[in-house]
Amino acid sequence: MFEDKTLICKECGQEFVFTAGEQEFYEAKGFVNEPQRCKSCRDARKAASKANREMFVTVCASCGAEAKVPFKPREDRPVYCSECFAKMKESEETEEAEVIEE
Ligand SMILES: [Zn+2]
Ligand SMILES: [Zn+2]
């Protein structure tokens, strides 16, 4: 049986609990090492690696500002910066806007 364990995060130095359930999960996955980081540091790293994904820089079709998108923009499709995209989403409820697909 597993028991909750308190470990020290090597990233932020805080104690965190390696729960019995997580230990079971680790064993099921065949991981031999205990987690080195607390959940929030792991989440932060995950988010950071997501952010490091290749981004394509293009020009917003609406305001002309630089827009970064996680997909290769197609010439026949307008691309919007996150601000304009958010604005369009807001108005989507009243108008049928074209859905941008990847
Ligand atoms: Zn941490
Ligand atoms: Zn824009």
H, E, C per residue of 5-34: EEEECCCCCCEEEECHHHHHHHHHHCCCCC
Q: Residue 22's pLDDT is what? A: 95
CA 66 – ligand 1 centroid, Å: 34
Q: How far is the CA of 36 from the centre of ligand 1 (A)?
A: 8
Residue matched to tokens 């080195």: 36
- Cα 53 to chain centroid distance, Å, stands at 10
The residue behind tokens 């002309």 is 64
Ligand closest to Cα of 65 equals: 2
Tell me the domain boundaries of the chain: 5-51, 56-91
Distances in Å between the Cα of 65 and the Cα atoms of 62, 90, 91 are 8, 19, 20
Residue 63, token pair as written in the block: 């305001």
Ligand 1 centroid distance, CA of 62 (Å) = 41
Condensed to tens digits (0 to 9), the pLDDT of residues 52-88 reads: 777 889 999 999 999 988 788 888 889 898 899 899 8
The ligand that comes nearest to the alpha carbon of residue 58 is 2
Distance between CA atoms of residues 33 and 12, nearest Å: 18
Q: What is the pLDDT of residues 79-101, one digit of tens each?
A: 898 899 899 888 766 555 455 55
Residue 70 pLDDT: 79
pLDDT by residue (tens digit) across 12-41?
Answer: 999 999 999 999 999 999 999 999 999 999
Task: In whole angstroms, give the CA distance from residue 39 to residue 98.
Answer: 38
Q: How close is the Cα of 7 to the center of ligand 1, in Å?
A: 10
Going from the Cα of 96 to the center of ligand 1, the distance in angstroms, rounded, reads: 44
